[in-house]
Amino acid sequence: MKMIFRWYGKNNDSVLLNHINQIPGTDGVAWALHDKQPGEVWNQPEIQETVEGIRSYGLHAEVVESVNIHEDIKLGLPSRVEYIEKYVQTIRNLASAGVKVICYNFMPVFDWIRTDLHKELEDGSTALFYENNKIQHITPEALIKKITKNPEFTMPGWEPERLDQIQTLIDQYKNITEEDLWEHLRYFLEKVIPVCEECDIRMAIHPDDPPWSVFGLPRIISSRKDLQRLVGLVDSEYNGLTLCSGALGAHPENNIPAMIHEFKDRIHFAHVRNVRRYDNGDFIETSHRAADGSVDIVKVIQAYHEIGYEGYIRPDHGRHLWGENCRPGYGLYDRALGIMYMLGIWDTLEKGGYKQ
């Protein structure tokens, strides 16, 4: 496996490249041009500038997370043709800078959602928390108000400049069924995967987080059955997955080690993190350690070892530790600890396991 770390760029991250290259066994970053809006072409000079900046620290820039998909593509509007052309141009530009994997998602309107970004755990650290009951009862309008009052409550898709469009976007999905969304995803992949084959760049879809519908919006990448359907949409290894143990792990029926075995040829990017699930549907993000959450991370890493995983892997969200001031979920310390945990398991397995 090739260990990497997510980095939000020099203007958007409290974590520095020089911090990342001090984490043992970590050779690259998952990066993006975070100032780009979905639908905008990423041009070669700006890509090159960022890639060179990353490389100057001895790190590689082979994974992009994410090139976000314009809402018109997900909605299947006629303008999708133009937006797909732009996406294809971005793929070509990234390929010429040596990028190998593009992570993306197909969640309508917004990405992951939580009710508390700094919920205190017993030890005083804080973490991202999802309270099922609150989400069931809050309207997007009320959430927008909450975010407007507390601008530090930042979640992807709910950025201040986008808040006034959210309700309209949600309304646009009123008549879009899950089947429609599947068709729109197929249409997109049929256009994009042949280009990926030509440029040798792998697409890796990120599952829905949480893996169920929120605010009545369709979500289609949530379960084993969904992953089976996804890989069948376009039968090419370039049509692959970002297997996120945290996003999928919020649902008790998702067996992550079994998925790793089943989809081993299509996993191009592994996200590893733990969540503690509660019976009422709530969940909180915990340390990576198996004993701290509901997902057995030892078994997850063991499954990757069993399939001889050679793809990219990164720790996913972490807790906020030791007074760290960082992007919610993306501090340095807990994710670095996660890497050491994963590498500890991996190295032990490499040496033939722990002999009693």
Catalytic residues: 206, 244, 271, 316-317, 330
Which residues have a Cβ under 8 Å from the Cβ of 63 and sit 6 or more positions away?
4, 28, 29, 30, 31, 99, 100, 101, 103, 269, 312
Which residues, in sequence order, are bridge partners of residue 182? none
DSSP state of 343: H
Q: Which amino acid is at 293?
A: G
- Enumerate binding residues for Mn ion (CB under 5 A): 244, 271, 316
> Rg of the chain's alpha carbons, rounded to an integer?
19
Binding status of residue 271 toward ligand CS2 by CB under 6 A: yes
Contact indicator for 101, 61 with CB cutoff of 8 Å: no
The interface mask with ligand CS2, positions 141-170, x = CB under 6 A, is ---------------x--------------
**Nearest C-alpha neighbor of 172 from the set 85, 44, 76:** 76
Residue 111 sits in the site that holds ligand CS2 (CB under 6 A): yes
Does 283 help bind ligand CS2 (rule: CB under 6 A)?
no
Instruction: For 141-168, give the DSSP string.
Output: HHHHHHHHH-TT---TT--GGGHHHHHH
Dihedral sign of CA atoms 273, 279, 284, 289 in order: negative
From the list ligand CS2, Mn ion, none, pick the one residue 112 interacts with, judged by a Cβ distance below 5 to 8 Å according to partner type.
ligand CS2
Do residues 221 and 228 make contact, with C-beta atoms less than 8 angstroms apart? no
Q: Which does 182 bind (CB under 5 to 8 A by kind): ligand CS2, Mn ion, none?
A: none
105 binds, among Mn ion, ligand CS2, none (CB under 5 to 8 A by kind): ligand CS2
Number of residues counted as binding ligand CS2 (CB under 6 A) = 14
Q: What is the sign, positive or negative, of the torsion defined by CA atoms of 205, 209, 212, 215?
A: negative
By CB atoms closer than 10 A (0-12, 13-18, 19+), residue 125 is: buried
10 Å Cβ neighbour count for 349? 16
Q: Roughly what angle, to the nearest 10 degrees, separates helices 80-96 and 178-199? A: 30
Residue among 184 and 273 whose Cβ is closer to Mn ion: 273
User: Is residue 104 near ligand CS2 by the rule CB under 6 A?
Assistant: yes
Specify the pairing of strand 202-206 against strand 101-105: parallel
Residue 40 contact, options Mn ion, ligand CS2, none, Cβ 5-8 Å cut-off depending on partner type:
none
Q: How far is the CB of 17 from Mn ion (least distance, A)?
A: 21
Residue 215 or 348 with smaller CB distance to ligand CS2: 215
Binding range to ligand CS2, per CB under 6 A, among 89-97, 101-109, 210-218, 279-287: 101-109
Q: Which residue among 206, 219, 276, 288 contacts ligand CS2 (CB under 6 A)?
A: 206
Report, in Å, the least distance between residue 345 CB and ligand CS2.
20
Are residues 215 and 110 in contact, defined by beta-carbon separation less than 8 angstroms?
Answer: no
Select from 247, 301, 303, 326 the one that contacts ligand CS2 (CB under 6 A): 247
Site string for ligand CS2, 53-72 (x = CB under 6 A): ------------xx------
Detail the DSSP E strand segments found in 263-345. Answer: 267-272, 275-277, 283-285, 312-315
Sole window of 105-113, 173-181, 229-237, 261-269 interacting with ligand CS2 (rule: CB under 6 A): 105-113
Residue that has been written with the tokens 């793929």 in this structure: 91
- Taking CB under 6 A as the criterion, the residue among 7, 110, 112, 346 binding ligand CS2 is 112
> Which lies closer to ligand CS2 via its Cβ, residue 13 or residue 209?
209
9/156 with CB nearer ligand CS2: 156
Chosen from ligand CS2, Mn ion, none, partner binding at 287 (C-beta under 5 to 8 Å by type): none
Task: List residues near ligand CS2 by CB under 6 A.
Answer: 65-66, 103-105, 111-112, 156, 206, 209, 244, 247, 271, 316
